[in-house]
Structure 1
């Protein structure tokens, strides 16, 4: 029995413990294997790559000079990646995503893949790249490949290190480190690219550029191995969601070139069950030490601040930040609704007005009779000149490394002329809710630090002399409401309609705790992480809870 059948068949027969997504991968691959159509499995082609790696690749660390011996799960993955070809022996898959826990041999595997693509893939002048956000990070994989070559007498005979690359004299190809902060990213002709820690890439521009630079190659390959990460709404989440849609058959059948292997726990409660650890760690007991993982879990049990790191890096559970106020499970609520069909007549407002070039954020919080959920309608604003600056400069990165332009196109964000915030847009939005959506906002919570008397008088003139409720941002005002808000978020009682800006702001929010365990929102040290949406939600939530009896009597 070949490794492909043994591994993927073993998962389907429950001989190998695996998560649901790996079962779906196995089912998909075995179906292709047993019932070939446009592509068929060619064991000779698959074996060519495995044989090359095990014969010529040496370990870059540990027992130096030792040949790399691939584990069953690694061989099966390589056979799936390289073995499915068409009648012209051109392989099916040009993009592979592997998500697995740390210390499962990913850096070594990536080094082996890039050397194999350089010298053993039958491509003339292949360009192979180690891809990362920063050049220093991309050089880690590059240096690992160099160490592998140095220890192999045959490889070192034909591949030599030049100033910026590893050059193969046989086919004029090279391996090179590539990062989004490189001086030039133009003119690439990529045959192979490997990414170690896709989850660390904060903007997807470098990924998309490499992907698009593969168009002239006969059978290119973009190969990524990563753990989950703390960066949300980036390229990792996008690729993960794409993989999930593929496995759950939510994509068109034409999507045949992307192959995911997702190793994760099926349930967060499995994290302290050793029998389930293999779901996220296919190399446990052979590559990754079980005792090491046991130590990490024991530490996390005694140190709750360490648990998010273990959940993300060892078990691939989604989190936002190890120091954040909320974890991702509390932030994410997949329930959606159509605002105009809900029949809301009254709401409670909240807004956060920025002073300079930050976001403006406003929210309407609405409830229904006999329903304890709070439904959120949000809007954000940014100065038009600020949003367009990156386009004018030819900058590939968007401000704050988030897709503001996409959010604007979707109607989640609005712009206004100029380069400074115009707080009047918030008043206009609440008037729009009243006049166009027939939603009357009874009270509006706001931070008095950021609104002048003139605008405040205009709000009161529109919504009543008692409509504006100041919400000061200190722990005396915020502590208990923030704790209540977190509980309601965790219980899925806050329905934000999967608004990506709301979720981004929530994931950025941190809290400061005083000696009496009182908390208040803080932004953290990264100025690119906006929390304006969280502040506007908190302001509205505090007023809603304070005026709840009056509000419920009206609806």
Structure 2
């Protein structure tokens, strides 16, 4: 037997992914490339980390001593056999240590993988390892979630594993109770932790598992775990999830951060074949891997499904996935469930209107509104309520190869009180990054918006400023007195239906461009398309917290533009 079989298994996986022999999306490729880059960097004195093979092996050896607890393998009394992708994650997370202290390098882990790929089994085994075998005195291990039932899934699986290994109970002095699992050998404890449970204060966390992070509507539980883990030398936060619907939540925030880290690895890879869009980040303590499809993949093509499902043919059965896909192709109501749970594609609303992958392809991070100085522009306003999100959208036109293309820039406003009290986990980050302008007090300062409109009038050629008279009549009167071309645009089915259809066509045909504004993307993804008996459509939202103001303002801007446009320019073959 090889001296370090699990490391060799992981190396085989890395080689297969990077060479293209193992089908994988760009984020999995990036995670493998990052590991190879780190191995080269570790040869230099100024790189503070090293990869220790025996340390990497230990956690894998432990997990393969754990029994299956569900299905035919459990019935046959079989032990877990780690797949190549699982070995890769484990040896990288546990094998990298600090050269001087020997403490674990990675303190935060984000794994995104679809349903059926043995997420809970992997997490339960790691949790038991951290409780019993990580050489930590008095380890506190938690399975954390927003509800008791969700928190008990990983904890319950771990308890079931322990029940089947009486030798493990004796060796570590385990006390397996309904509400907790005690380890007498090191005074450790493992228990579920939920938002609706007992107090979360005073935790000294060694390992925190956040299962199905996409279901966390607020950042509260994550921040409790993150804060509680700061008291240990090599604590580990383990977030594992499928894709979800909430792009304003803590899960998508962390996912976006992980993609920035992985994008950096691709940017520094000489053989990178991917077109890279977006920011990069450098964080030596964050590990991340995302199993999904690539932007250009057709979700109906069965040849790409394996990219998102690393346990393809093991615990994810191709015939079963094919059956679900066939149903999703026939029933629009089943599409988003299939995409999120089985292909790890993020969508926001259960009956979403926009193809968000097509929207993201329209992002041009080099776009700057200053490039359009002096040009004609439609400036639309959706002011809604003084205590909620307000937006002004600028829509420019340009000719590319004889076709009209559109360029969008959005500016958002929100009262400071709403930023802190709304429950939206991303508002504060968007304010810090300049995507939302927070106005002092409890209500939006319309005077600030008026000043920005006046500045736009000086910098650009305002052809019209469409606005909904509800909540904006007085502002419109004041602006009109300053010769700003205010145009009333009522939010009716008649005014919105064709504009929505045309906007979708422009996005799908690649003729609408934006600067990657995440708030606008969130608003677009929140739109639910309501269709009436005459095939008219109108934007709606499923829940009050799913704001669509940016989408509404963009539809108004395009609707105003298209009143004078040649309809023939908006033909899209795929519609």
Q: When the two structures are superposed, what TM-score results if normalisation uses the length of structure 2? A: 0.84
- Asked whether the equivalents of residues 195 and 224 of structure 1 are also in contact (C-alpha less than 8 Å), the reply is yes
Relative to structure 1, the CA distance from residue 292 to residue 221 in structure 2 (aligned partners, 3 Å threshold; closer, same or farther) is same
Who is 2:214 aligned against? 199
Relative to structure 1, the CA distance from residue 219 to residue 301 in structure 2 (aligned partners, 3 Å threshold; closer, same or farther) is same
Gaps of 5+ in 1: 391-397, 550-555
C-alpha displacement of 1:112: 0.7
Structure 2 counterpart of 1:128, from 133, 141, 144: 141
Who is 1:433 aligned against? 456
- Asked whether the equivalents of residues 349 and 527 of structure 2 are also in contact (C-alpha less than 8 Å), the reply is no
CA distance in 2, matches of 1:230, 1:406: 19
Structure 1 counterpart of 2:54, from 44, 55, 62: 44
Structure 1 counterpart of 2:422, from 364, 382, 399: 399
- Asked whether the equivalents of residues 300 and 307 of structure 1 are also in contact (C-alpha less than 8 Å), the reply is yes
Please show how residues 499-510 of structure 1 align to structure 2 within 5 Å.
499-510=517-528
- Asked whether the equivalents of residues 124 and 171 of structure 1 are also in contact (C-alpha less than 8 Å), the reply is yes
Who is 1:552 aligned against? none
CA distance in 1, matches of 2:466, 2:11: 61
1:74 aligns with 2:86: yes
CA distance in 1, matches of 2:466, 2:235: 55
Please show how residues 32-431 of structure 1 align to structure 2 within 5 Å.
36-37=42-43, 38-59=48-69, 63=74, 66-86=78-98, 89-157=102-170, 158-162=173-177, 164-182=179-197, 184-247=199-262, 248-249=264-265, 255-332=283-360, 333-336=362-365, 337-355=367-385, 357-368=387-398, 372-387=404-419, 390=420, 398-416=421-439, 418-421=441-444, 423=446, 425-431=448-454
Task: Give 3-state SS (helix, strand or coil) of 2:345's partner.
Answer: coil
| Deviations 1:373-407, CA, capped at 9 Å, x for gaps | 323333333334444xx4xxxxxxx4141433333
CA distance in 1, matches of 2:13, 2:523: 42
Task: Give 3-state SS (helix, strand or coil) of 2:299's partner.
Answer: helix
Task: Give 3-state SS (helix, strand or coil) of 1:129's partner.
Answer: strand
- Asked whether the equivalents of residues 143 and 193 of structure 2 are also in contact (C-alpha less than 8 Å), the reply is yes
| Deviations 1:198-237, CA, capped at 9 Å, x for gaps | 2333333433442343233232222222222222143333
C-alpha displacement of 1:109: 0.8
CA distance in 1, matches of 2:164, 2:509: 55
Q: CA RMSD in A?
A: 2.9
CA distance in 2, matches of 1:27, 1:380: 38
1:497 aligns with 2:515: yes
Task: Give 3-state SS (helix, strand or coil) of 2:131's partner.
Answer: helix
CA distance in 1, matches of 2:281, 2:525: 34
CA distance in 2, matches of 1:257, 1:455: 49
CA distance in 2, matches of 1:424, 1:380: 14
Relative to structure 1, the CA distance from residue 253 to residue 369 in structure 2 (aligned partners, 3 Å threshold; closer, same or farther) is closer
Task: Give 3-state SS (helix, strand or coil) of 1:362's partner.
Answer: strand
CA distance in 1, matches of 2:236, 2:416: 39
| Deviations 1:428-480, CA, capped at 9 Å, x for gaps | 33123224xx224232212233334x44432322236xx33322222222111
CA distance in 1, matches of 2:139, 2:389: 45
1:22 aligns with 2:28: yes
